[in-house]
Structure 1
Amino acid sequence: MESTSVFIKLKKYSFIILGLLSIVLLAGCQGATEPISANSTGWFDHYFVYTFSVLIKGLAGFFNDNYGLSIILLTLFIRLALMPIMLKQIKNNAAMKEKMNVLKPEMDAIQGKYRNKQDVEEQKKMQSELMQLYGKHQVNPLASLGGCLPMLIQFPILIGFYYAILRTPEIASHSFLWFNLGQSDIILTMLAVIIYFFQFKVSLIGMEPKMKKQMTFMGLLSPIMIGVISLNAPAALPLYWAVGGIFMIVQQLIAKKMYNTYQKDKKPAEA
């Protein structure tokens, strides 16, 4: 059995853990349906949920009470505001991946030396040699865990907006396109599921086969959970998810193009 660095394992599974946590919290949000107002208690309700509710109503009023358009525009604005953070992190991850590729032959040699030595002491020695290797090449393995940071930053913002949509009663009394924003809609639900599944497929482009296999569970679970929640939720929520999913697809395609450009730009310099 091949051993791997504890830091690499933490990096790989941190995304899965955070993804599962977000899905569980979104599913639990169904119980919090009381209307949000200036009198709502709790710092999160006051600073996040109520603020987004005011923005939704204000923008809708600007467009003749078009709450569907308001949700779309605010979703895009929030995603655009978070996009620089995401792109910067992807660039940092690309740089870290390049450094780790340089270290890989030496890492493989160390791991190969301890492949058949599974007792605790030998594993400690292996980790010690790996840490010495990181220090030799001035690589901080803990920096790879920074991939969780953008998710942590955007988490309260996106969850707050989610709650605001769910708890702003004015939304339910309006329609958008073919559906009523306050009632569930099977067509919109199917669109949201398809978009998120396609978004998952796009996220796998350029990913190593082993990592693809590890991410398959989350990739299938996310659209399924979104579909289940949307079937029992007002159509405003799958509208939010569908727009956000389309934006993430575009963002990922841009990021992957930037990553490929980054790799191409580096190759001539190394030649």
Structure 2
Amino acid sequence: MEQKNILTALRKYRFIVLIISVLLVTGCSGDYTDIDASTPGFFNEYMVYPFSLLIKWIAEELSGSYGLSIIVITIALRLVILPFMVKQQKQGQETQEMMKIIKPEMDAIQEKYKDKQDSDKQLKMQKELSELYKKYNVNPIKSMAGCFPMLIQMPFLIGFYYAIRRTPEIAEHSFLWFNLGEVNILIALIAVLTYYLQGRVGLIGSNQTNKGPMSLMLYVSPIMIGMMSFVMPAALPLYWTIGGLFMIVQTVITKKYILTT
């Protein structure tokens, strides 16, 4: 049961897990040299460099503010992702509600084969469970379908990350009270707090059975964000802070007005 709850937590926070994966990939390795039109590499040419140009173009349109440029692009990326996330959340909620309905029958089947561990009996149990799912038109893995759109986002998230790191003009500008090219403890702490609050908001409405395992995820994301933010230029914790704030608003609106309808 504990393993099942942990898997439920991972499904619920798969977007945060995706972000952590991106952070691990981008933070532990990579080329951080300045990028320009002559930089070799397919990913640099078609993902990182276009994002770098977009950052500079929007900054020029916003009176030279690279901080506002990062904010605008971050929000735009989140808005593109939003429909996929909402669709996945609705599918996940529908599947969970149906699983609650068929749970007594599932438990009866599992109890029936509890002490029968040979492969033939286990196959029969799986067959009966499959027939039960078919009877109620339930696909247990349907709630995981949202992982695929999220995986599609990874090149864009990574590309934007590297564009921020490798656009030299960013380091020459300040935003609010900090220099975008230097480490700033305050914006790093704000990023950590934002992702902690995001986790707290994500727990709203969770049942007590799942809340314990899900609480583990509450600390993973802020810790990872903190590890990166305290050693990286302030432009990156700014990016993560805006993304986290967007996710908080999105979660509140989704839970209150979309998933309840």
Task: Tell me whether the two structures share a fold, i.e. TM-score over 0.5.
Answer: yes
**Partner in structure 2 of residue 57 of structure 1:** 56
Deviation at 1:112, TM superposition (A): 2.2
User: Is the Cα–Cα contact under 8 Å of residues 67 and 174 in structure 1 kept in the other structure?
Assistant: yes
Number of equivalences: 258
Question: What is the distance in 2 between the residues matched to 1:123 and 1:249?
Answer: 43
**Partner in structure 2 of residue 268 of structure 1:** none
Question: What are the superposed Cα offsets for residues 235-264 of structure 1, whole Å, 9 maximum, x if unpaired?
Answer: 0000000010000000111111135422xx
Unmatched segments (≥5 aa) in structure 2? none
Deviation at 1:198, TM superposition (A): 0.5
Matches within 5 A, 1:26-41: 26-29=26-29, 31-41=30-40
Given the superposition, is the C-alpha separation of residues 189 and 201 from structure 1 closer, same or farther in structure 2, using an over 3 Å criterion? Answer: same
**Partner in structure 2 of residue 24 of structure 1:** 24
**Partner in structure 2 of residue 135 of structure 1:** 134
Question: What are the superposed Cα offsets for residues 15-66 of structure 1, whole Å, 9 maximum, x if unpaired?
Answer: 386465334213225x421112222222222222111111100010112211
Deviation at 1:162, TM superposition (A): 1.0
Deviation at 1:98, TM superposition (A): 2.2
User: Is the Cα–Cα contact under 8 Å of residues 172 and 181 in structure 1 kept in the other structure?
Assistant: yes
User: Is the Cα–Cα contact under 8 Å of residues 182 and 232 in structure 2 kept in the other structure?
Assistant: yes
**Partner in structure 2 of residue 215 of structure 1:** 214
Deviation at 1:13, TM superposition (A): 4.6
User: Is the Cα–Cα contact under 8 Å of residues 84 and 146 in structure 2 kept in the other structure?
Assistant: no
Question: What is the distance in 1 between the residues matched to 2:141 and 2:78?
Answer: 27
User: Is the Cα–Cα contact under 8 Å of residues 27 and 228 in structure 2 kept in the other structure?
Assistant: yes
Letter in 2 for 1:147: G
RMSD of aligned alpha carbons: 2.4
TM-score by length of 1: 0.86
**Partner in structure 1 of residue 238 of structure 2:** 239
2:207 equivalent to 1:171: no
User: Is the Cα–Cα contact under 8 Å of residues 183 and 231 in structure 2 kept in the other structure?
Assistant: yes
Deviation at 1:213, TM superposition (A): 2.7
Given the superposition, is the C-alpha separation of residues 18 and 235 from structure 1 closer, same or farther in structure 2, using an over 3 Å criterion? Answer: closer
User: Is the Cα–Cα contact under 8 Å of residues 59 and 66 in structure 2 kept in the other structure?
Assistant: yes
SS at 1:115's partner residue? coil
User: Is the Cα–Cα contact under 8 Å of residues 6 and 214 in structure 2 kept in the other structure?
Assistant: no
Unmatched segments (≥5 aa) in structure 1? 263-271
SS at 2:145's partner residue? helix
User: Is the Cα–Cα contact under 8 Å of residues 184 and 231 in structure 1 kept in the other structure?
Assistant: yes
Q: Tell me whether 31-40 or 171-180 shows the greater mean CA deviation.
A: 31-40
Question: What are the superposed Cα offsets for residues 54-103 of structure 1, whole Å, 9 maximum, x if unpaired?
Answer: 11000101122110111111111111121111111111212222222221
Q: Tell me whether 119-128 or 48-57 shows the greater mean CA deviation.
A: 119-128
User: Is the Cα–Cα contact under 8 Å of residues 199 and 248 in structure 1 kept in the other structure?
Assistant: yes
Letter in 2 for 1:28: C
Matches within 5 A, 1:82-97: 82-97=81-96
Letter in 1 for 2:228: I
Deviation at 1:180, TM superposition (A): 0.4
2:194 equivalent to 1:195: yes
